[in-house]
Amino acid sequence: MKITENYPLKTLNTFALNVDAKYFTTVASKDEIKQSVEIARQKDVPLLILGGGSNLLFESDFPGLVVRNELKGTSVIDQTDDSVFVKVMGGEIWDDFVKYCVENGWGGVENLSLIPGTTGAAPIQNIGAYGAEQKDSFVELEAYFLKTGKRKVFSNNECMFGYRTSIFKEKLKGEVFIESVTFKLDRKPTLKTEYGAIERELSQIKDRKITVSDVRNAVIKIRRSKLPDPVELGNAGSFFKNPVVTAGKLSELKTKSPDIISYSFGNDSFKLAAGQLIDKCGWKGRREGDAGVHKNQALVLVNYGNATGKDILLLAGKIQKSVLEKFGVKLETEVNVV
C-alpha cells in the first residue's frame, strides 16, 4: 500500500476546503482495509474512512490517516418475479448505482438520484430525499470492525435507521468500515410521486404511464435547479436536518406564521422545512467572507473559495441561534464535523 504524507484533501471534500491529511491511502480490497488499520496503529494516529467527502466538514488539517474507500463492483445476487437483490461495494458512487437500477427498470432508489457520495456512506447517513430514504430498499451490509478485525453482516433492523442517522453515525461512529451494501429493488415499482415538486414536474406527462426513469429525470431537474454543483461551488448539500416538532408546537408556529410548511412525521409529529425557517430569518443569499448561504436554497451553506471549516461552522452557529430565537426551534447539523 502506498502511504502519502501531507496529502491535500481539497478535491476529496465537496466543500472544497483547503485541508491536508497527515497520511493518506486508498483501499481496493478487504486485505488492504486490515493493512490500513495496522498502519494507523503503528503510527499511533487516528483513522478516518473517506467516501465521496460529500457530508464532511473539516475544521482543520486531519492529524491522522485518511483511508479512501475504493472497493468496486455491482452484481445481482438473487432475483424473483417481483424483486432483484443487488450487492454494491462501498466505494461505488451512489448515483452510478441509482442510474444502473433505473436503466434496468428497477424501482426503489430513483427518488435518491443525484445525491453525492458513495454507496458505503449512504447507510451511515440514511440518505433521503423527496419522500424516500435508502433504508426503504436496504437489505443488509457487510462491515469490518476497525478495532477487532471482525466482520459482521448488519440487517435493516440492526442498523437502527432514523431520520438522517443510523447506528454507524451514533453508537458505532468511526468504528466500522462498510465494505458492501445489498438492496432489494422492485421489478414492478410503486412510484413515490406525491412530493410537490416531483408531482408538478410529472404532471406534464399525460399520454403514457410514468416510469422510474421519469421520476429520476424529475428529481435531477429539481436538484439542479435548487442546489449548487459542488464542482462549481463548494457545499455539502443540506447542512441542517429538517426539524421535527409536536402538533402543539406546529400550531403555535402557524399562529405566528400561517405559511409555515410542514409534513406529517407520524406519532403526532411534524417535519418542518429548515430552509424556510432560515429564509424567514433573512439568511438566504447572505455571505460572510467566503462562507455563505446559497441564494436559491437556504438549507445549503457554501464555500465561495477560501472559507475554512471554522468559518462555515461560525456561520452555521449564527443561523441556529437566529432560528431558535425567532421560532423556538433547534436546528441540528446534518454534516459530520471532523
**Could you list the active site residues?**
164, 238, 334
**DSSP E strands, the chain:** 4-8, 20-27, 47-50, 56-57, 62-69, 74-79, 83-89, 128-129, 132-133, 138-145, 151-155, 176-186, 234-238, 244-246, 262-266, 269-272, 287-288, 291-293, 300-303, 336-337
Strands 62-69 and 47-50: parallel
Cell reading at 129: 430525499
Listed in sequence order, the residues at least 6 apart from 173 whose beta carbon sits closer than 8 Å to its beta carbon are none
| Rounded-to-integer distance, Cα 295 and Cα 284, Å | 6
- In DSSP notation, 228-247 reads --TTTSEEEEE-BPPPEEEH
Q: Which residue from 242, 244, 318, 321 is spatially nearest to 275, judged by alpha carbons?
A: 242
Q: 3-state class of 193 per DSSP?
A: coil
| Rounded-to-integer distance, Cα 312 and Cα 324, Å | 18
Give the dihedral sign, CA 31/36/41/46: negative
| Rounded-to-integer distance, Cα 338 and Cα 336, Å | 6
Indicate the length of the chain as a whole number. Answer: 338
DSSP, res 306: S
